[in-house]
């Protein structure tokens, strides 16, 4: 983040509500606006209900080992 309360911090470590307020600003310039939008998409994909669908054959709450 190049300015503000979280100056010098990685965008991925900044709270979503703060980033949402930044994006609502009319004068937020590129490429920061696009980077925040991309981060929001990634966060939604990671936390989407589709990523929590149980896999048949595995006990509930378990996921396959990495690389499986």
Provide, rounded to the nearest whole percent, the portion of the chain with pLDDT above 70.
68
Task: State mean pLDDT over 16-24.
Answer: 88
Q: Which distant-in-sequence residues (6+ apart) come within 8 Å of 63 by Cβ? A: 55
The torsion angle over the Cα atoms of residues 5, 6, 8 and 11, rounded to 10 degrees, is -150
> Could you tell me the pTM of the whole model?
0.61
Spell out the alpha helix ranges (H) of the chain: 16-23, 32-46
Q: What is the pLDDT of residues 41-64, one digit of tens each?
A: 888 777 655 555 555 655 554 455
Q: Which residue has the higher pLDDT, 7 or 52?
A: 7
């Amino acid at each position: 983040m190049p300015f503000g309360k979280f100056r010098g911090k990685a965008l991925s470590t900044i709270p979503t509500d703060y980033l949402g307020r930044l994006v609502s600003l009319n004068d937020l310039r590129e490429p920061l606006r696009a980077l925040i939008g991309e981060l929001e998409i990634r966060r939604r994909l990671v936390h989407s209900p589709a990523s929590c669908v149980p896999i048949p054959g595995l006990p509930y709450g378990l996921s396959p080992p990495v690389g499986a």
